[in-house]
Structure 1
Amino acid sequence: MKKYCLTVDLINDAKLIAEYEAHHKTIWPEIEKSIRDAGIESMEIYRVENRLFMIMEVSETFSFEKKQAADLANPRVQEWETLMWNYQQALPFANPGEKWVLMKKIFQL
């Protein structure tokens, strides 16, 4: 099993952050299905202030490219992503259109 960590910022507004968290208390069933179908076996999101940190544990068949292609072909996932973009903001160093940025592991004990 592989593990990936990603990060993105939320718009720094307490009301919007509360709404974002509320959306994640019960995600849409189609979103959970798309995550699981991609080979993501576990996903956790943590927040400090307006910075989010995601940990994903994935199967050997998972690839970011396949997940992106499946997401682009899924109208419900696109609806969710559009909704989430109302709360998220790209990191200053992100590529154009990039939300979640893959983090580099620098230490393990």
Structure 2
Amino acid sequence: MRRYALALDLKDDEQLIREYERYHQNIWPEIRKSIVDSGIENMQIFRTGNRLFMLMEVNDDFSFEAKGKADDTNEKVQQWEELMWKFQQPLPWAKAGEKWVMMDGIFDL
């Protein structure tokens, strides 16, 4: 099992943040299926202010490249991503077109 930590910012608007959280309390079934089918076995998102932190635990079959290709051809995932972009904004250091940015581990007890 591998673990990845990623970060993303939401637009700093309390109403948009509440709406974003409501969507994530009941994600679309097609989105849940795409996550599980890609090899992600556990995913959690945490928030402080407008900063999001995602923790993913994946199996040996998971790859970001394969997940990206599958998402690109999945109409429902594309609809979800377009909708979520209404709430999200890239981190200041994100590359062009990059949403979630991989975090570097700096401590492990």
On whether the aligned pair clears a TM of 0.5, the verdict is yes
Runs of 4+ in 1 over 2 A off after TM superposition: none
Instruction: State the match for 1:92 in structure 2.
Output: 92
1:12 maps to 2:44: no
Deviation at 1:21, TM superposition (A): 0.2
Residue correspondence of structure 1 range 24-63 to structure 2 within 5 A:
24-63=24-63
SS in 2 for 1:24: helix
Identity of aligned residues (%): 59
SS in 2 for 1:98: coil
Note the residue ranges of structure 1 that are not aligned, 5 or more in a row.
none
Amino acid at match of 1:58: V
Q: Normalised by the size of structure 2, how large is the TM-score?
A: 0.99
Give the Cα separation in 2 of the matches to 1:26 and 1:70: 22
Give the Cα separation in 2 of the matches to 1:37 and 1:101: 22
**How big is each residue's C-alpha offset from its partner over 1:33-67, in whole Å with a ceiling of 9 and x where there is no partner?**
00000000000000000000000000011000000
SS in 2 for 1:56: strand
CA RMSD of aligned residues (A): 0.3
Give the Cα separation in 2 of the matches to 1:91 and 1:47: 14
Instruction: State the match for 1:82 in structure 2.
Output: 82
Aligned length: 109
SS in 2 for 1:95: coil
Deviation at 1:83, TM superposition (A): 0.3
Deviation at 1:79, TM superposition (A): 0.1
Deviation at 1:85, TM superposition (A): 0.2
**How big is each residue's C-alpha offset from its partner over 1:5-27, in whole Å with a ceiling of 9 and x where there is no partner?**
00000000000000000000100
